[in-house]
Structure 1
Amino acid sequence: MLRSLRDTAPKTILLTAAALFSIFPLLSMFSAALQPQGTAPAGISFPTDPQWHNFVDAWNLANITTLVKSSSILVLGVVPIAMLISAMAAYAIAQLRIPFGNVFFLLLLLGLTLPYEIVVVPLYYQMQSLGLLNTQLGLILPLIGLNMPFAVFWMRTHFQSVPLEISESSWVDGAGPWKAFRHIQLPLAVPALASLGVLMFLSTWNQFLLAIVLIDDPSKRTMAGALQGFIGAHSTDVVLLNAGALLIMAPTILIFLVFQKYFIRAMLAGAVKG
């Protein structure tokens, strides 16, 4: 019993410290958002008369309704398409063993070394030449391409863990590669796809740099991209700033809480099989 406690105590302490380290900033922002407007709150101090209307005021001032629609369009345009393309590419490389598949994979991995700051200028002029500047399509297409290196890497790891005998037996039974992919491989890849979808949702929803460079209209940007304008307009009101920031972060927190089991399952599968 004592030995078990000695083994689990350090892990419990580390997890508790990590949880407090993550939750403390959110609690500080939440307490600040409930203070009277125009004040300068410091630390965590919940008021006796919380000003819940601050969230309503921040919602209206930041035009959150329009931004939610815009961000949702971007997410729906990026995440499903990127998930499908990356799954097919990873399946072809890992299971079908296509010619030069490893070469293509290495070229994709080079994309992981390129930060957005390097490609943003070429992307700007490319979207300009295509006439897609200040359009949501002009942001969706680059985000799909920029997500491909990591997405293919993630899905290839999963498909490599699936025994080749599963695909080979389906081919013997008369199912072609495409039918085997749809009816066998995709159901097996649900945890990996779900966790990949969560990661791409977070990166797309929180996209900041490309949103402000490629789109001039704030109503067509992501919620994170529009945060800059809200900060510029209300930088002196710390209360409204915290309320607006919490509203912008809320969807990402909710999505992670809903899909966390898939994310954890895929991470554990990769740790055991990899």
Structure 2
Amino acid sequence: MISRRERALNYAVLTVFAALALVPLVGVVASSLTPRAQSSPTFTWPDHLDWSNFSTAWAQGHFATYLRSSLLVAVSVVLITGVLAILAGYSFARFDYPGRSLLFYVTLVGLMVPPEAFVIPLYFNLRDVGLTDSYWSLILPQTAQSLAFGVFWMRNFFRSVPSAVIEAARLDGASDWRVLWQILVPISRPALLTMAMLVFMWTWNEFLLPLVMITDEAKRTAPLGLAFFQSAHTTQYSLLAAASVIVALPVVALYVFLQRHFISGMLSGAVKG
């Protein structure tokens, strides 16, 4: 049993680390609300809140277009990855066929290959088939990047489901397809939501692929648009902070909305290896 002293020490350590994580975020938000005449590269607490920084950054940075592009790419990657991960994870978890383990470990290689290792040959391959400077040049590679994690995640969850549940469904005449979509997928909601949130976050924050694949300004994603905005407003720190908050806000909002599912999803997705 944990003593009161140990519990107090644990809370003290957690409080310190939470403060270390929150102070930079508070600094960015404070800077985004600081009047431009008072803005500084160091931490500055504003005399009064200037909300016009957000509207100015939004208009000058064309973030409506960039956020729309990021949303389209991220949602597409999440949906495609989710469907493929469910199917492949179910196959690896519940079917027995020659080469299953080898194929699964080959799939996991995708977790070990950084984008920097293949982005140049990938660019030439997509250019040869006419897909560069299109949303597909972002959706397809990022789906492939996320799929290894998604398959691993869903396989572990499906393996954690008691076999008695599946056997009972099959005794009632349920096919494998029905077992998957009417029994396993509904009970895997926490794991699916957690996977979707992580894939959405990774896709939203991706910078290298859009930088290499996209030249059309209308198809730039939010992080790429933020980089161009930064280069044009190098010393306007309030506008840069406001633009950073705009780009980060969708991911923060998604996390807050799905927070209650996150811990249960993390546990259910990693119950069995």
TM-score normalised over the length of structure 2:
0.94
In 2, Cα distance between equivalents of 1:10 and 1:270: 30
Matched, 1:63 2:59: no
Shift of 1:42: 5.0
Measured after TM superposition, the shift of residue 272 of structure 1 is: 5.9
Equivalent position amino acid for 1:247 in 2: I
Q: Secondary structure at the match of 1:193?
A: helix
> How far did residue 238 of structure 1 move?
1.3
How much does 1:69 deviate? 1.1
> In the alignment, is the contact (CA less than 8 A) between 2:197 and 2:255 conserved in 1?
yes
Label 1:75 to 1:22 Cα distance change in 2 as closer, same or farther (>3 A).
same
The correspondence of residues 104-143 of structure 1 with structure 2, limited to 5 A, is 104-143=103-142
Structure 2: distance between partners of 1:43 and 1:66: 30
Q: Secondary structure at the match of 1:51?
A: coil
Per the alignment, residue 243 of structure 1 pairs with 242
Match of 1:175 in 2: 174
Deviation string 1:123-181 (CA, Å, 9 cap, x unpaired) is: 10111011010000121111111111111111111111112222222122111100100
- Residue 214 of structure 1 pairs with residue 210 of structure 2: no
- What corresponds to 1:73 in structure 2? 72
Spell out the pairing of 1:35-74 with structure 2 (5 A cutoff): 35-74=34-73
Bigger drift between 227-236 and 217-226 goes to: 217-226
Contact 2:153 2:270 in 1 (8 A): no
Q: Distance in 1 between matches of 2:98 and 2:167?
A: 18
Matched, 1:10 2:5: no
Residue 224 of structure 1 corresponds to 223
The answer to whether the Cα contact below 8 Å between 1:39 and 1:237 also exists between their aligned partners in 2 is no
- The answer to whether the 8 A contact 2:131-2:137 is kept is yes
Moved more, 48-57 or 164-173: 164-173
SS, match of residue 236 in structure 1: coil
With over 3 angstroms needed to count, the CA separation of the structure-2 counterparts of 1:270 and 1:150, relative to structure 1, is: closer
Most deviating of 203-212 and 47-56: 47-56
Structure 2: runs of 5+ lacking an equivalent: none
Distance 1:102 1:128 in 2: 34
Provide, for residues 80-132 of structure 1, a one-character-per-residue CA deviation record: whole Å limited to 9, x for no partner: 11011001100110012343221111001111110010010121011101101
* Aligned-pair identity (%): 35
Alignment RMSD (CA, Å): 1.8
Q: Residue type of the partner of 1:268?
A: L
Structure 1 residues without counterparts, runs of 5 or longer:
none
* 4+ aligned runs moved over 4 Å, structure 1: 270-274
Q: How many angstroms apart in 1 are the aligned matches of 2:188 and 2:228?
A: 40
Letter in structure 2 aligned against 1:224: P
TM-score normalised according to structure 1 size: 0.94
Alignment size in residue pairs:
273
